[in-house]
Amino acid sequence: MLFPFLIQAFLTVILLGLFCHLAYRKWAGRRALRLPPGPLQLPILGNVHQLPQDYQEKTLARWGRQYGDIVFAQLFRTPAVIISSVSVAKDLMEKRSANYSSRPHFVLQTELMGWDSAITHMPYNDRFRKHRKWIQDAIQSKSALLSFRSLQYRETYTFLTSITESPDEFMSHIRRFAAALIMEITYGHTITSLNDQFLRIAERATTETVANGSPGSMLVDFFPILKHMPLWMPGAGFLRRAAQVKYHVRRMLDKPYDLVKNRLATGTASPSFTSALLEQASRGNVSNPEEEEEDIKGAAGVLFAAGSDTTVSVLSTFLLAMVLHPEVYQKAQTEIHQVTGGTRLPGFEDREQLPYLACVLKELLRWHCPVPLGIPHLASVSDEYSGYDIPQGSLIIPNIWAMTQRTDVFPDPSTFRPERFMEPGGQVTDSIDPANMVFGFGRRVCPGQDFADASIWLLIANMVATMDISRAQDTRGNDITPSASFTSGFVSHPKPFKCRISPRSASVIKLISDMSTIHA
């Protein structure tokens, strides 16, 4: 009995010695590099043990304040560079975009959850450029943005009508508004209610994805061998959950695509992103039809997934901010009334005459950015920046939340104060625009930025013009003051809150009704 034990002990010592030798070599190699400063690391773990499960952006921001705008950390075997400065982010991800435009391989979301055909997760390659061109041509050109205006007006007035009828369900109306815009553009499908089957399928896929792991947040992303664990094995719960998410993602990609394909076959398809690509594929010389089909499904699916949830976050944050800061809302109402006279609803032609509302939107993105950490970029080759070495394969993590909360750039950052973007002469400052942070950087910047901006502006302008927003009251008539608190996760939302929304007057209700009829 002793002999096998001695053999086992001997092998353990040998393996331990080998591990220590390799760890020392790696440590010595790192010592030779001029790495950015960062927190102390432990063997094997690196700095993973120092990251909380929730609100990681706050811990990373604290590192930034302690060590500087560029911080080095080790996440198991993976080097990571955390950026807390817009100027550093632009220096690397925009000015050196050839090196910092790719993505790490996210095993959980690409292989296990089925998002491998989403441009947001693709490495920077020909397939990425193909998807990017499709999306840019469809929603980024000036002609495309102008063509969407009738849809944006229609859905804005539908929202106003709905919130007039059932104001307590404001979150449902926001979700419907965001989804309806994207669904119509992407698939030519009009959403008339929250019970729409395609809306339910898409929302299930996106919420399940966010709930079960952000990009680069799970152990399997650092140790891909874990994806081969037997499902019955303790600790394999993430695999079972990922399989369920993949089912919903697959339905999201397939169902609306099949709808458009069938409508094209019967000649009943409305113009859309998907129908245009299908018609283009039918005319062109496609070498791999199955691959082309998957590309179209992925490009269409990511439009909804990337656009709707962030729009919901921004609009719900607006309501929360206005409930907490009625003086801001009143000032915005006064500005709009001066432009419209209260006899019509604001339109895109009024935007340049509403500088205070522009500041409100800027402060909205700054006060609470919808995607606190973005999706990590990848250093494709080793680089040197500001005297520091950035190893090949490093995760480049832009801490967008930290950038919007810097006290040296935005004094008293927890306070919602649109005036910080207003110059003494009443003009809107463009020197520091939160939109240049929250939509991403370089070749990975969100291609739907202008469309999202226009949609959000139009809805908020019309809400300010037509609705009074105030604090809800309890059964005793006392005001209920919500807290400025937000959920943790890849996309962050305000935690559930109550508010009171009501039309400003009977004439406003008639204006909404008239405009809804015109744009029906």
**pLDDT tens, the chain, 520 aa long:** 333 333 344 344 444 544 444 444 454 445 589 999 999 999 999 999 999 989 999 999 999 999 999 999 999 999 999 999 999 999 999 999 999 999 998 898 888 999 899 999 999 999 999 999 999 999 988 999 999 999 999 999 999 999 999 999 999 999 999 999 999 999 999 998 878 898 888 888 888 887 777 665 677 888 888 888 888 888 888 889 999 999 999 999 999 999 999 999 999 999 999 999 999 998 877 888 899 999 999 999 988 877 788 999 999 999 999 999 999 999 999 999 999 998 999 999 999 999 999 999 999 999 999 999 989 999 999 999 999 999 999 999 999 999 999 999 999 999 999 999 998 877 888 778 999 999 999 999 998 899 999 999 999 999 999 999 999 999 998 999 999 999 998 899 999 999 999 999 999 999 999 998 988 7
Give the pLDDT score at 12.
45
> Residue 25 domain-assigned?
no
Give the pLDDT score at 10.
39
> Residue 455 domain-assigned?
yes
> Residue 21 domain-assigned?
no
Give the pLDDT score at 33.
92
> Residue 219 domain-assigned?
yes
Give the pLDDT score at 216.
59
- d(CA 63, CA 38) in angstroms, rounded, equals 7
Q: How far apart are the first and last CA of the chain?
A: 85
Determine the structural domain holding residue 512 and report its residue range.
32-518
446 is in an annotated binding site: yes
> Residue 15 domain-assigned?
no
How many contiguous H segments (helices) and E segments (strands) does the chain have? Answer: 19, 8
Q: In a 10 Å sphere around its CB, with 0-12 CB exposed, 13-18 middle and 19+ buried, how is residue 265 labelled?
A: exposed
> Residue 467 domain-assigned?
yes
Give the pLDDT score at 238.
86
Quick one: three-class SS letters along 246-309? HHHHHHHHHHHHHHHHHHHHHCCCCCCHHHHHHHHHHHCCCCCHHHHHHHHHHHHHHHHHHHHH
CATH number for the domain that contains residue 154: 1.10.630.10
> Residue 211 domain-assigned?
yes
Number of independent structural domains in the chain:
1
Q: Which of 322, 356, 315 is nearest to 338 (CA)?
A: 356
Give the pLDDT score at 214.
67
Give the pLDDT score at 221.
82
Give the pLDDT score at 215.
67
Quick one: three-class SS letters along 353-394? HCHHHHHHHHHHHHHCCCCCCCCCEECCCCEEECCEEECCCC
